[in-house]
Amino acid sequence: MSMLVELPRPNSSEFTFKEPEKRKAEIFTNWPTRPLVDWKKPKFGKGFCIHITADDRLQISNYDWLDLETTILENVSVERLKNAVNSITWLNEPASIVVTSEQELSKSKIFPSIMKLLFKPSVRLFYVPNIEQ
């Protein structure tokens, strides 16, 4: 599995809002990867993986709190992602979400709206960094 790094969360116990805001662009220079199907969720809290396909579509996987017969939800809308995030961020622990993409996220048209949804204190964002930069 590729190395994941956590993007700093705004207004978390470790950072003010300004510090993570300065580093938010780091996730847009990610290393393109396939979806992570073997990601182990943290012991506390809930989480899942999102993946942006080569044709800029959103997938969700590793969401064991949902009672579904499939392992990957395909063609997910931003609204459905918002509902999934809201269903797990009411807990005391922040949600952990892994973001992968088959292209650099800077080339994605859908990811900026996803980032607006996910970049908040109640969400821990993980991604695969571009090690060549």
43 in any annotated domain: yes
Nearest to 59 by CA among 92, 42, 36, 43: 36
User: What is the tally of structural domains in the chain?
Assistant: 1
Tell me whether residue 13 is in a domain. Answer: yes
Global pTM value: 0.85
Q: Provide the pLDDT confidence category of residue 117 given band limits of 50, 70 and 90.
A: very high
Separation of alpha carbons 3 and 128, rounded Å: 6
Report which of residues 12 and 106 the model is more confident about. 106
- The set of residues, in sequence order, having a beta carbon less than 8 Å from that of 37 and lying 6+ positions away, is 61, 62, 71
With a CB cutoff of 8 Å and minimum separation 6, the contacts of 90 are none
Any domain includes 132: no
In a domain, 87, yes or no: yes
Range of the domain at 62: 5-127
Q: Is residue 100 part of a domain?
A: yes
Domain-located, residue 133:
no
- Higher model confidence: residue 71 or residue 121? 121
pLDDT in tens, 80-109: 999 888 888 766 778 889 999 999 999 999
